[in-house]
Structure 1
Amino acid sequence: MMKSFLTPALLSTALLSGSVFAADYKVDPAHTAVLFKINHLGFSETVARFNTIEGNYSYDAANPTASKIVVKIDSNSLDSNHAARDKHIKGPDFLDVKQYPEITFKSTGYKGSATEGTLSGEFTLHGVTKNIDLNIVKIGEGKDPWGNYRSGFNGTVTIKRSEFGVDQMLGGIGDDVTVELFVEGIRQ
């Protein structure tokens, strides 16, 4: 008898606390982008993107610290709008995509509000994993015209490529790489 009372009581507590309202989202690759920019010879910044991205995230506005994300990027999908440069960046001097086909980010914690904060996690590039902190801003959420429920977030971080073993041509090409993540997900 005590067991049958506890189950509804625990369920009611969970409903009131908002934990049941956490939602899982699948990253929509058609509306998600990962861009980076890097200094070129001190004259300009070169901008590139990755075209193949997949991932999942969980978001709960009532309990944002429980939010989490896993993103996988196909390193061979790099596109800098210049075929010869892409071939060089994908080669052994830089990303070495044959040896390191994926770039990943797996969150380990979130601090902030439901609309902005810092998402910490393990970032793996070129076979090296380091903890990074992304500055996150919620863009919005709601139903789309086709009846799906979507949410979107932007994130930015600056890393030093040399810390990930990508240290060719330092000086001519900057060490600081600004990474921008634009994520839109469909609630599952």
Structure 2
Amino acid sequence: MALREEKKLQTRHALIEAALTLMHEGAGFSGLSLREVARQAGLVPTGFYRHFPDMEALGLNIAAESCQTLRRMMRKVRLSAQGGAAILESVQALVVFIREQPLYFEFLARERAGGPPAVRQAIHAEIRLFVAELAADLRNWPAFHRFPVEDLAMLADLVVNTVIHLALDLLAMPNEEAEEVLIQRTTKQLRLIMLGALEWRPEKSGA
């Protein structure tokens, strides 16, 4: 990569980190100004525009980058394991991601409900992609091979929402001992969902 391109990526990342840091210190994304984000990153305001046209574009970039990274990581886990092993490894992988990138997940947790409309919509679109990818992968598992598409989507949605609750709890729980209890609880919840799905009879779904 050329030195100029590398420096451009570093500056772009500095702007993202600046916004995430300011949010962590108490501001919502809607409350951030372009000037303070640029100042936090060590730039003048005009330097911001070389990387993003406005604050909304910055928020959309953060949402896409964090969700896409997480989706790739979780899919890699699912492709390498199935059943109980996939559940445990997925939970462990999520915990690692959150501990390594807490500000990204804090952004998703806060802005999915209270962020600017475009950012909220982008986060929800990414979550829907998460559900669709999980449903597609589940269809390749022998146990769910004959499940209707809508039932697989329902199962995937239950799993993703359980994982989101784990992430929210982890963000509010710095204690490692309590973290282990939470991981065990979430793993059991996911196993319960999967075991329940195995007893599900699609032909009775309208009952």
The structure carrying a bigger strand percent of its residues is 1
Q: Hey, which of these two has a bigger chunk of helix by percent?
A: 2
Query: So what's the TM-score if we normalise by structure 2?
Result: 0.28
